């Protein structure tokens, strides 16, 4: 197992915290959770592991070269999982510079820190070191047919996906130019507990439970492949432990659904678990589409399945019900996130 001594960037985020929790179920020696605690970062996502002596939290930004160098020297990591990023497309439309700074610039800073550290390791340590760059299927653009594969060309269409594509190009370049053992992953849309309520599922749940309109962009026909966050975390660990440096791995859930279908399923589940005065699905309201909205994403995960033995384990219906139950029983967390940080307002209208 390579993931003996681990740094996870973006560890107080939705996916990063899920990865930390999964890592600490295994026999890692230590996990350092690194996060700048921007608006979407929340240490309470790590509450379940805060008392674990193998876990340590460090508040720092991936653009801070001095802080990173000090952490590498102290921690002596064998594995870096890089998840720190600005991730919301609508926010990238309103303010693209922050995405370039964190996603592209932060990745370059982390890669350069890792390169300097890697150059000081002995041969055995070099053999064990891995850098997993965690990206998105959105860098490939919009599909009309078929599915993205590791050979699909990049065609980003939003400031967010452009910033992630830039980061991925740097990660790939650091493997080919410097020999840094980088592996890149591209995952489909994630869902599950602790997701920040600017994203589709928690936003819809929050709106519906408050009796407010549930916005649906365009005509609701845009298609996404849905992946449970725990399945994603397991895939990242498989890449770090068994993946080949220099390779790219696509991670999908095999649940290709339109946004309308997802909201219907989500609110039908809410009808069953927390009946209201009417059908929550009646709150779905079409709103003007997102500028440059990619129509369809679909991911071919056969490479990671065939080479590393990973496949998704959470059925969508089961995962969706568990997600709704979690939000119903964790309203205090939702309200704490909303208060002062995000009031469920529509973002990403600057382009219009």
pLDDT beyond 50 at 223: yes
pLDDT beyond 80 at 329: yes
Summarised one tens digit per residue, pLDDT across range 142-151 is: 998 999 999 9
Q: Tell me which of 51-55, 75-79, 102-106, 142-146 is least confident.
A: 142-146
236 and 3 in contact (C-beta within 8 Å)?
Answer: no
345 lies in some domain? no
Give dist(CA 279, CA 267) in Å, integer.
Answer: 8
Range of the domain at 124: 5-191+228-253+293-313
Q: What mean pLDDT comes out for the span 111-119?
A: 98
4 and 129 in contact (C-beta within 8 Å)?
Answer: no
Tell me the helix, strand and coil percentages in the chain, rounded to 5: 45, 15, 40
Three-class DSSP labels, 34-46:
EECCCCCCCHHHH
Three-state secondary-structure class, residue 74: helix
130 and 6 in contact (C-beta within 8 Å)?
Answer: no
pLDDT at position 1? 44
Summarised one tens digit per residue, pLDDT across range 13-45 is: 999 999 999 999 999 999 999 999 998 889 999
Confidence of residue 69 (pLDDT cuts 50, 70, 90): very high
Strand duo 256-258 + 223-228: pairing: antiparallel
248 and 165 in contact (C-beta within 8 Å)?
Answer: no
> And the tokens for 219?
């005509």
**How many alpha carbons lie under 13 Å from residue 144 in its C-beta half-sphere?**
0
Q: What mean pLDDT comes out for the span 165-188?
A: 98
Three-state secondary-structure class, residue 96: helix
Is 0.85 surpassed by the pTM of this model? yes
CATH number of the domain to which 67 belongs: 3.40.50.720
Domains held by the chain: number: 1
Report the run of H or E that residue 216 belongs to, with start and end: strand 214-217
222 lies in some domain? no
343 lies in some domain? no
pLDDT beyond 60 at 347: no
213 lies in some domain? no
| CA diameter of the chain | 66
96 and 113 in contact (C-beta within 8 Å)?
Answer: no
Question: In the chain, what is the straight-line distance between the N-terminal and C-terminal CA atoms, in Å?
Answer: 50
233 lies in some domain? yes
203 lies in some domain? no
pLDDT beyond 90 at 197: no
Residues catalogued as catalytic: 137-138, 160
Confidence of residue 350 (pLDDT cuts 50, 70, 90): low
pLDDT at position 313? 97
Give dist(CA 225, CA 271) in Å, integer.
Answer: 24
271 lies in some domain? no
Give dist(CA 30, CA 143) in Å, integer.
Answer: 41
Distances (CA, A) of 48 to 25, 73, 90, 302: 11, 27, 31, 33
> Angle formed by the axes of helices 331-338 and 200-209, to 10°?
100
Q: Mean pLDDT in the chain?
A: 94
220 lies in some domain? no
313 and 231 in contact (C-beta within 8 Å)?
Answer: yes
Residue-by-residue DSSP string for 191-231: ESTT--TTSHHHHHHHHHHTT--EEEETTS--EEEEEEHHH
Confidence of residue 339 (pLDDT cuts 50, 70, 90): confident
């Amino acid at each position: 197992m390579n993931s003996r001594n681990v740094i996870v960037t973006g560890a107080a985020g939705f996916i990063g915290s899920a990865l930390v929790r999964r890592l600490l179920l295994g026999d890692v020696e230590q996990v350092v959770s690194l996060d700048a605690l921007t608006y979407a970062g929340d240490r309470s996502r790590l509450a379940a592991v805060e008392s674990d002596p193998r876990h340590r939290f460090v508040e720092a930004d991936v653009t801070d070269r001095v802080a990173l160098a000090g952490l590498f020297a102290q921690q002596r990591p064998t594995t870096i999982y890089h998840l720190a990023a600005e991730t919301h497309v609508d926010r990238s439309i309103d303010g693209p510079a922050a995405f370039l700074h964190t996603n592209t610039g932060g990745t370059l800073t982390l890669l350069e820190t890792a390169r300097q550290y890697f150059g000081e390791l002995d041969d055995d340590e070099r053999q064990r070191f891995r850098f997993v760059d965690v990206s998105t299927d959105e860098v490939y653009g919009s599909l009309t047919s078929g599915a993205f594969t590791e050979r699909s060309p990049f065609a980003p269409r939003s400031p967010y996906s452009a910033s992630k594509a830039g980061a991925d190009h740097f990660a790939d370049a650091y493997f080919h130019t410097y020999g840094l053992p980088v592996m890149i992953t591209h995952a489909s849309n994630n869902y599950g507990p602790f997701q920040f309520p600017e994203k589709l599922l928690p936003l819809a749940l929050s709106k519906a439970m408050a009796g407010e309109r549930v916005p649906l962009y365009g005509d609701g026909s845009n298609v996404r492949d849905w992946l449970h966050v725990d399945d994603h975390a397991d895939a990242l660990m498989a890449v770090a432990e068994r993946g080949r440096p220099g390779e790219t791995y696509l991670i999908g859930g095999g649940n290709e659904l339109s946004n309308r279908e997802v909201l219907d399923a989500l609110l039908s589940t809410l009808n069953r678990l927390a009946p209201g005065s009417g059908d929550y699905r009646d709150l779905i309201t079409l709103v003007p589409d997102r500028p440059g909205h990619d129509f369809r994403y679909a991911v071919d995960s056969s490479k990671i399945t065939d080479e590393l033995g990973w496949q998704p384990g959470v059925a969508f219906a089961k995962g969706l019900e568990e997600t709704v139950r979690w939000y119903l029983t964790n309203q205090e967390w939702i309200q704490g996130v909303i208060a002062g940080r995000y009031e469920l307002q529509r973002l990403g209208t600057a382009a219009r």
